[in-house]
């Protein structure tokens, strides 16, 4: 059972890119299974001169910087052909071979300019109809592209390879979207001919990457190859299990891996939940432990909490264990990776949400429906902080006792061991010998 899945356990940006890059030397294939260029997965390292380098991936899987790895963009991803080609060029400029190491599913749906235009119009409409009612999307066309997929009117990668079919499908779709833009949203219509001509050009550029990736992955699994599935976004943004409608339009959760790659669930052995040592959220929607104060600002500044895709400041707050226990339940995490523990250094005390109060009662149940989640009051336990800079520590035993206790508290509450601890953005900043918690 050689499939492992890396899953965001909160609202995204937990450090999935860093952990995927870290695990890549031990696998043969790294595959994205959902989402699109709304993701921003950062990989940071030091070059030979000691200078800090950083690369933010949006569509190409985070295994691309390891020569041993083949990268797959699965059928469940919504692919912006322009964005992926630009990203490939940027990676190639670093001297990395992409041509022979990236496979794109022939069944993945395409993001078109009209998806972004419809999304912008919808968001504007929501904002003006009711203050603050917009979702705060990334503007990458994700929702409208998945809408077309499920309405069975989408255009897929395979359609790029037949210019006549593509022309016909594009024309029909753009005309339909133009009617919506003009008549429903009073927005500007798009130029049909310009888009058709631009997109028919993508066939040759993308042709060499296009593969039946489900078949490729299943054959690789038959030959005992190891696959790492890289989730995007976070479980609390899942379209079914997140705080709907303030969610993304896909399934970042474990189930999404099988449908998004076309691999059987019986092949999955490791489900690794990535949890930031505190919480962040970008965009609108309920966030019970949000700190709209100085402490929140301190986390934002120390943690560099600004979106890797949109640059928006991330909302910051204390660690929410009620939410983490819920995402552990729906994903079946058998291991946790805790990231950004270094950011908590220097805080006198650390609060951790262990219960919600709702309608006068306390509960450990996470209500995913937005209306209820908006009204819960987080109840905290307070743990001691530590002053030391821990970003250079490489062994659990060398961490301050308070930091060790913080991690044990998390593992005990969730009932899942912490297998990895990240204490800085760079590759080497990782602790792999986290001591087991007594009751996990």
Q: Which does 58 bind (CB under 5 to 8 A by kind): ligand GDP, Mg ion, ligand IMO, none?
A: none
Bond preceding residue 24 cis, omega within 30 of 0:
no
- Other Cβ atoms less than 10 A from the Cβ of 438: the count is 8
Active-site position among 41, 106, 115, 251: 41
Q: Which does 142 bind (CB under 5 to 8 A by kind): ligand GDP, Mg ion, ligand IMO, none?
A: ligand IMO
Determine if 40 is a binding residue for ligand IMO (CB under 6 A).
Answer: yes
Tell me which residue has its CB nearest to ligand IMO.
283
Length of the chain: 440
Q: Which does 104 bind (CB under 5 to 8 A by kind): ligand IMO, ligand GDP, Mg ion, none?
A: none
**From the list 233, 235, 327, 339, which residue makes contact with ligand IMO (rule: CB under 6 A)?**
233
Burial 146-167 (b: 16+ CB within 10 A, else e): bebbeeeebbbbbbbbeeeebe
Determine if 74 is a binding residue for ligand GDP (CB under 6 A).
Answer: no
Catalytic residue at 41?
yes
Closest listed residue to residue 352, CA positions, set 360, 364, 370:
364
Q: Give the interface segment with ligand IMO, choosing from 7-15, 102-110, 174-182, 192-200 (CB under 6 A).
A: 7-15
Catalytic residue at 395?
no
Rounded Cα gap, residues 31 and 230, in angstroms: 6
Cα 431-434-437 angle, rounded to 5 deg: 160
CB of 240 to Mg ion, least distance (A): 21
Cα 65-213-96 angle, rounded to 5 deg: 20
Determine if 113 is a binding residue for ligand GDP (CB under 6 A).
Answer: no
Q: Give the interface segment with ligand GDP, choosing from 240-248, 249-257, 336-344, 392-400 (CB under 6 A).
A: 336-344
Active-site position among 13, 80, 148, 159: 13
Is residue 54 a contact partner of residue 42, using CB atoms and an 8 Å limit?
Answer: yes
Rounded Cα gap, residues 252 and 238, in angstroms: 6
Print the binding letters for residues 386-425 with ligand GDP: x by CB under 6 A, - otherwise. Answer: ------------------------------------xxxx
CB of 145 to ligand GDP, least distance (A): 20
Closer CB to Mg ion, 58 or 408, in the complex: 58
Query: By 3-state DSSP, what share of the chain in percent is helix, strand and coil, each rounded to 5?
Result: 35, 20, 40
- Tell me how far the alpha carbon of residue 60 is from its chain's centroid: 13
Rounded Cα gap, residues 150 and 140, in angstroms: 18
**From the list 72, 181, 308, 376, which residue makes contact with ligand GDP (rule: CB under 6 A)?**
308
Q: Which does 253 bind (CB under 5 to 8 A by kind): ligand IMO, Mg ion, ligand GDP, none?
A: none
Determine if 15 is a binding residue for Mg ion (CB under 5 A).
Answer: no
Torsion of CA 120, 123, 129, 134, to 10 degrees: -160
Is residue 427 a contact partner of residue 45, using CB atoms and an 8 Å limit?
Answer: yes
Count, residues near ligand IMO per rule CB under 6 A = 24
CB of 390 to ligand GDP, least distance (A): 10
Determine if 42 is a binding residue for ligand GDP (CB under 6 A).
Answer: yes
Q: Which does 422 bind (CB under 5 to 8 A by kind): Mg ion, ligand GDP, ligand IMO, none?
A: ligand GDP
DSSP state of 437: P
What strands, in cross-sheet order, belong to the sheet with 268-276? 210-211, 102-105, 70-73, 29-32, 227-230, 3-8, 268-276, 335-339, 418-422, 430-431
Determine if 16 is a binding residue for ligand GDP (CB under 6 A).
Answer: yes
Determine if 13 is a binding residue for Mg ion (CB under 5 A).
Answer: yes
Active-site annotation, residues: 13, 41
Q: Which residues bind ligand IMO (CB under 6 A)?
A: 8, 11-13, 38-41, 135-138, 140, 142-143, 232-234, 237, 248-249, 282-283, 308
Q: Which residues bind Mg ion (CB under 5 A)?
A: 13, 40, 308
Q: Which residues bind ligand GDP (CB under 6 A)?
A: 8, 12-18, 40-42, 44, 304, 308, 339-340, 342-343, 422-425
């Amino acid at each position: 059972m050689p499939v492992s899945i890396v899953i965001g356990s909160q609202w995204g940006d937990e450090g999935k890119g860093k952990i995927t890059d870290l695990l890549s030397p031990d696998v043969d294939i790294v595959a994205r299974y959902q989402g699109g260029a709304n993701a921003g997965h950062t990989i940071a390292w030091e070059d030979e001169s000691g200078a800090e380098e950083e690369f933010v991936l949006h569509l190409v899987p985070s295994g691309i910087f390891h020569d041993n790895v083949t990268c797959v963009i699965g059928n469940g991803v919504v692919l912006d052909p322009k964005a992926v080609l630009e990203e490939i060029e940027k990676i190639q400029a670093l001297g990395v071979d992409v041509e022979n190491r990236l496979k794109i599913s022939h069944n993945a749906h395409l993001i078109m300019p009209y998806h972004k235009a419809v999304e912008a119009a919808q968001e504007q409409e929501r904002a003006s109809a009711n203050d603050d009612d917009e979702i705060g999307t990334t503007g990458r066309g994700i929702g409208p592209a998945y809408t077309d997929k499920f309405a069975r009117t989408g255009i897929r990668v395979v359609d790029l390879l037949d210019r006549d079919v593509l022309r016909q499908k594009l024309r029909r779709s753009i005309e339909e979207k133009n009617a919506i833009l003009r008549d429903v949203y009073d927005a500007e219509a798009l130029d049909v001919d310009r888009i058709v001509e631009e997109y028919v050009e993508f066939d040759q550029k993308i042709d060499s990457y296009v593969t039946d990736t489900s078949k490729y992955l299943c054959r690789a699994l038959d030959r005992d190859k190891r696959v790492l599935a890289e989730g995007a976004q976070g479980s609390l943004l899942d379209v079914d299990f997140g705080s709907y409608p303030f969610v993304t339009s896909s399934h970042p959760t474990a189930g999404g891996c099988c449908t998004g790659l076309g691999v059987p669930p019986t092949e999955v052995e490791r489900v690794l939940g990535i949890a930031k040592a505190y919480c962040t959220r970008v965009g609108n929607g309920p966030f019970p432990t949000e700190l709209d104060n100085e402490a929140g600002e301190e986390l934002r500044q120390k943690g560099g909490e600004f979106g890797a895709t949109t640059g928006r400041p991330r909302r910051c707050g204390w660690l929410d264990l009620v939410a983490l226990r819920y995402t552990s339940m729906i994903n079946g995490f058998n291991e946790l990776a805790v990231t950004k523990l270094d950011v908590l250094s220097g805080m006198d005390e650390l609060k951790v949400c262990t219960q919600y109060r709702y309608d006068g009662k306390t509960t450990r149940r996470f209500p995913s429906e937005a209306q209820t989640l908006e009204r819960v009051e987080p109840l905290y336990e307070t743990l001691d902080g530590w002053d030391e800079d821990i970003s250079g520590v490489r062994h659990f035993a060398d961490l301050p006792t308070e930091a060790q206790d913080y991690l044990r508290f998390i593992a005990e509450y969730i009932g899942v061991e912490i297998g990895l601890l990240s204490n800085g953005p760079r590759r080497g900043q990782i602790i792999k010998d986290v001591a087991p918690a007594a009751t996990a």
